[in-house]
Amino acid sequence: MTSRPEFPVAGFMRRALRLARKGAGRTAPNPAVGAVVARGGRVVGEGYHRAAGLPHAEIEALRRAGGAARGADLYVTLEPCDHRGRTGPCTAAILAAGIARVAFAMEDPNPAVSGRGARRLRDAGLAVHRGLMEAEARELNRGFCRWVVTGKPFVTLKLAVSLDGQIAAAGGDSRWITGEAARGRVHRMRSVADAVLVGGETARRDDPMLTARVPGGHEPRRVIL
């Protein structure tokens, strides 16, 4: 008698998180989500949410899996939705595809819908596992989590300061304070942000580009106060 494969498997959720990061910065007001369909210890379908209004990660993964989804396991970085918005509920698609087991990293932080997707799937007889790599999933969508719970944005303050505590040369001329590694990190941070904001004086003196110079990366909105 053949036993069922191990469940859940962290490697498949790790892959789903990598997929989700491809959509980071592009999905607002939705979260970045990745999904993997696994059967017999191998991936048979995968996908991620690319932008608001486009198919959710689960739908992308199920489409790619096709008939192989029946009896398979689904790994998704966020609890599957059970409500209709700009797209239909993912729970209905999961049930229609014949998925047997679902593992999701974190519950939907929206208190109006949190837990509904998991309950719908369990009530239909699916095995559901919550919390696999939850910390990583929350870190990926920390901006979304703050906004949906508090209505406030997640703000990251970036400050370049010299060793003697200065932010500019004595003459006011513009020059690099941070090194290449720090500038590279800032560009990566910008590529997953909705907007970059600076004061008017900084814009007048430095004329910064405020772009995310990451190949193929998302460009945030530029805001000057």
Q: Which residues are catalytic?
A: 58
Structure tokens that stand for 50 in this block: 């690319």
For residue 141, which amino acid is it? N
Structure tokens that stand for 60 in this block: 């992308």
∠ Cα 211 50 181 (to 5°): 35
Q: Are 90 and 37 spatial neighbours (Cβ–Cβ below 8 Å)? A: no
∠ Cα 187 30 195 (to 5°): 35
Q: Are 50 and 31 spatial neighbours (Cβ–Cβ below 8 Å)? A: no
Stated as kind and residue range, the H or E segment containing 71 is none
